[in-house]
Structure 1
Amino acid sequence: MLENLIYGFGVAATFQNLSACFIGALLGTAIGVLPGIGPLATISLLLPLTFGMPSTTAIIMLAGIYYGAQYGGSTTSILMNLPGEVSSVITTLDGYQMAKNGQAGPALAVAAIGSFIAGCVATLVVAIAGPLLTAVALSFGPADYFSLMLLGLIVASVLSEGNVVKSIAMMIAGVGIGLVGTDVQTGQQRFTFDIPELSDGIGFAPMAMGMFGIAEVIRNLEMPEVREALKTRISRLWLTGEEWRRVAAPIARGTTLGTLVGILPGGGAALSSMGAYTLERRVSRNKHLFGKGAIEGVAAPESANNAAAQTSFIPLLTLGIPANAVMALMIGALIIQGIQPGPRMIEAQPDLFWGLIASMWLGNLMLVVINLPLIGMWVRLLKVPYDLMYPAILVFCAIGVYSLNNNNFDVFVTVVFAFLGYLFSKIGCPPAPMLIGFVLGPMMEEHLRRAMLLSRGDPMVFLERPISATLLVLAVIAVAAMAIPSLRKGKEEALHQA
């Protein structure tokens, strides 16, 4: 592994890849600082920009945007009580209170230090676990892959935000949209409604840019723009000895929890930060300070969200399965680059695999430099009116989508999905399960067909293989865990009405 990491640093340390890492970290911090613009929308908007780049350079930059947003989101949470990123919502509880108490500097410092330590540890876990899981995944057959992807879809839907039934419905819709186009085996067109442009299927970039990029712009225009930065002067961007003693254990616990949760389908940074805060509030010796400016309440969630952002790359790089919607975008970016993510990627694309892992360490170091000394610049960035930003975003989207195939139809598809994304947000349907279903649907169909061909049409192959059977049992348990509380609640309501 040491030889591979040295090789990875050689790849990541080239001028082109270092520049991409820095640009990604800088952009990630900026979109984390700006409320209302998350990494999901930004990565979807920037997908066309990566088409002319080498695959390793493109993924390094997109990865930097993702984990950089976890850093930047803490800045507005602490200084303005306004989370720039979903995973930083929990940081507002104690971060803003610390700032009001004149401790904005230590709050920003512990957020950056905790994120840096967690990012480095989680990246080491990726480097160790990646090859091990790849070796295991190489023993998987088509039936095992189908069951694994089915489990991933179910768990992602169960753990997503909002109503579980709506999440599952969106996931199924995403699978259906992913099957639009020409059947590879029979050559027959399906779900194309005699529209020639749909014969190759619905493009990943137009869907992602519309559903997450433009729809996010529309939602932001609805909201009143209230940005009032803290008037207190920021000083002492470091920790005292006593503060170090108080945050050491929370950083360790947050890093551990975030590392584990990030690997799970549907986990991600938001879930890990909330879990870390809840855990810390229970085990801390300073429970009475939580909600009033406890430094532990900043250290734990900020460590957890960055650790989760790094380890969510493990299932992507080893199994080709997205742990969350951002990883689904990463898979889309790889496929557009002509790379099939999965267990053979470590052998077929060692530059990408080890170069990405090495770039995460370099990116985390860059983020400490970007965040702490440039706090003043980020505060000034918050004063830019959104009315001046959104026209440039929309123009960039239109140019980017059109440039994919020089086709007006892609622009129309983007507009349709922008409308759908906005509509779904109004009726409480989370779009993330749809994107994950869209990515995994065609892969599931391919493995399902292979399994049925090898078994000569016998569906028992999914139960006869131990790995597949175990994964299906876990899927049933996940569905039961989702359904039982709803059934109990329904019975209690029925008894109460009677």
Structure 2
Amino acid sequence: MTELGGQLLQGFDAALTVGNVLYCLLGVTLGTLIGVLPGIGPVATIAMLLPTTYGLPPLTALIMLAGIYYGAQYGGSTSAILVNLPGESSSVVTCLDGYAMARRGRAGAALGIAALGSFFAGSVATLIIAVLAAPLAALALKFGPAEYFSLMVLGLIAAIVLANGSVIKAIAMIALGLLLGLVGTDVNSGVERFSFGIPELSDGFGFVVVSMGIFGIAEIIHNLEKNEQRDIFATTVGRLLPTRDDFRQSWKPVLRGTFLGSLLGILPGGGAILSSFASYTLEKKLAKDPSRFGQGAIEGVAGPESANNAGAQTSFIPLLTLGIPPNAVMALMVGAMMIHGIVPGPQVMTERPELFWGLIASMWIGNALLVLLNLPLIGLWIRLLKVPYRLLYPAILLFCCVGIYSVNQSALELAFAVGFGLLGYVFIKLDCEPAPLLLGFVLGPLMEENLRRALLLARGDALVFLSRPLSAFLLFLALLLVLALVIPNIRKTRDQAFQDS
């Protein structure tokens, strides 16, 4: 514990500089803003902002991007409660009871318990990251190429199992992501693959180009189809501080939501979304009167909001300790680290401790700033909800184009991004979730590298993946997940859960 305390002090020393605090404030403010405004989302926003991080110190850039992610979880509850539109996908469940509370004149209590529960869950989840970081990183240092390959296989299969919608479509998205990751020069032979003689493709598709096209431009096109009419039921929210009875009904759901979110947030593909649905289901099952849910039960706000914030925080654990992104946002964080020449993985803790612990410490700072932002500025967020999207999208599109062009000053990369944007729009129309594609795109080259390295060290013996105990165990877990998809009852339960959501 003494060592952990010293490491956290080192982290706070790195995070509490004027520049880092200001960028943390900027990140959580942007996160809250895009959470409040339905239809943008943290993935698209982080993808758009990646080019702006080139001129920032690595820690400052990561602090800002992380703040956008967990800030969006806070902001998403505001539009869910006031407009019955989830600003962020993990806030879908909050609409059920949050909007019902607003209709009964209790919007303030719903917003207050959402903010306080989120702050508690985020703080506890950050403590869990700090406690688990060192032992997990030590374990990860024992990983060889075979173990890393098997871990990535497990992660991709888990992403398929937990992806929303069709399993076949999720597999297709991951396969397409893996194929896109193959474009460029083969590291071992120096031969260009699938570049079609285009010089700009000799290094493969740029991470910023793919992510900004698939998520940023595609979301803009998709949102232009939507009806802009927003019925803001509560223009005045009343008392923000929950009553004593509200606290009495909420403290257990907050604790349970924090525990569930902290656990499920580590899983690939699940994270905050899976956590919020699991928490709502659990609270409804434990309630003495389940019929209250959907009619304005405060537990239906407190539990899921705590769970999605805890899940958002603990999804950093696989990224920081193993270098494996569990969801699309963490894949973007991997991209941000690579932009700054940082290889994600356990070596970051030993080689860049100020960055590792500084990022963890900044999460406490960010969660405190979010409480100060969300409650006093609720009137501002209400006014922003009235801004028509047709006034926002030209500025967002211009920002995307400037960001893409500024990376390599390449007009062709801008054209590629537009192409990926159109492709992303097609995916949306076909109900294909694009997040697995980004995971496949990021993990594909790493999987290939570790596969080749493991086979090279084993002199071509493919049994090396089964002869090493840890690698065999990870592949066994992957096989269990595949079997779980094949078993009809389990697959029916999975599909029913997503239909209910």
TM range (shorter): over 0.9
Secondary structure class of the residue paired with 1:91 = helix
Amino acid at match of 1:352: L
Q: 1:118 Cα shift? A: 0.1
CA distance in 2, matches of 1:92, 1:48: 34
Task: Tell me if 1:404 matches 2:407.
Answer: yes
CA distance in 2, matches of 1:236, 1:285: 27
Amino acid at match of 2:268: P
- How many residues in Structure 1 have an aligned counterpart in Structure 2? 489
Stretches of structure 1 that go unaligned for 5 or more consecutive residues are 490-498
Amino acid at match of 2:373: I
CA distance in 2, matches of 1:450, 1:22: 42
Secondary structure class of the residue paired with 1:307 = helix
Task: Tell me if 1:110 matches 2:113.
Answer: yes
- The C-alpha deviation readout for 1:233-270, integer Å capped at 9, x for no partner, is 31111122211111010000000000000001111111
Counterpart for residue 144 of structure 2? 141
Counterpart for residue 50 of structure 1? 53
Q: Identity of aligned pairs, percent? A: 62
Indicate if the aligned counterparts of 1:102 and 1:232 stay in contact, CA closer than 8 A. no
Amino acid at match of 2:257: G
- What do you get for the CA RMSD once the two structures are aligned? 1.1
Counterpart for residue 481 of structure 2? 478
CA distance in 2, matches of 1:296, 1:447: 46
Partner of residue 444 from structure 1, selected from 435, 443, 447: 447
Amino acid at match of 1:323: P
Counterpart for residue 24 of structure 1? 27
CA distance in 2, matches of 1:305, 1:378: 20
Q: 1:486 Cα shift? A: 8.3
Change (3 A) 1:17 1:188: same
Amino acid at match of 2:358: G
Counterpart for residue 300 of structure 1? 303
Task: Tell me if 1:178 matches 2:206.
Answer: no
CA distance in 1, matches of 2:428, 2:133: 35
Q: 1:392 Cα shift? A: 0.8
Stretches of structure 2 that go unaligned for 5 or more consecutive residues are 493-501
Secondary structure class of the residue paired with 2:239 = coil
Counterpart for residue 81 of structure 1? 84
Indicate if the aligned counterparts of 1:178 and 1:201 stay in contact, CA closer than 8 A. yes
CA distance in 2, matches of 1:371, 1:31: 13
Partner of residue 339 from structure 1, selected from 328, 332, 342: 342
CA distance in 2, matches of 1:228, 1:487: 39
Task: Tell me if 1:152 matches 2:187.
Answer: no
- The C-alpha deviation readout for 1:373-394, integer Å capped at 9, x for no partner, is 1000000011111111111111
Counterpart for residue 351 of structure 1? 354
Task: Tell me if 1:315 matches 2:318.
Answer: yes
Counterpart for residue 128 of structure 1? 131
Q: 1:107 Cα shift? A: 0.5
CA distance in 2, matches of 1:461, 1:91: 47
Q: 1:401 Cα shift? A: 0.5
Secondary structure class of the residue paired with 1:373 = coil
Indicate if the aligned counterparts of 2:235 and 2:382 stay in contact, CA closer than 8 A. no
Task: Tell me if 1:2 matches 2:9.
Answer: no
Task: Tell me if 1:377 matches 2:365.
Answer: no
Indicate if the aligned counterparts of 1:149 and 1:440 stay in contact, CA closer than 8 A. yes
Partner of residue 70 from structure 1, selected from 70, 73, 88: 73
Indicate if the aligned counterparts of 1:100 and 1:232 stay in contact, CA closer than 8 A. no
Counterpart for residue 238 of structure 1? 241
CA distance in 1, matches of 2:247, 2:173: 45
Secondary structure class of the residue paired with 1:51 = helix
Counterpart for residue 423 of structure 1? 426
Q: 1:466 Cα shift? A: 0.4
Indicate if the aligned counterparts of 2:145 and 2:450 stay in contact, CA closer than 8 A. yes
- The C-alpha deviation readout for 1:464-497, integer Å capped at 9, x for no partner, is 00000011111111111112228998xxxxxxxx
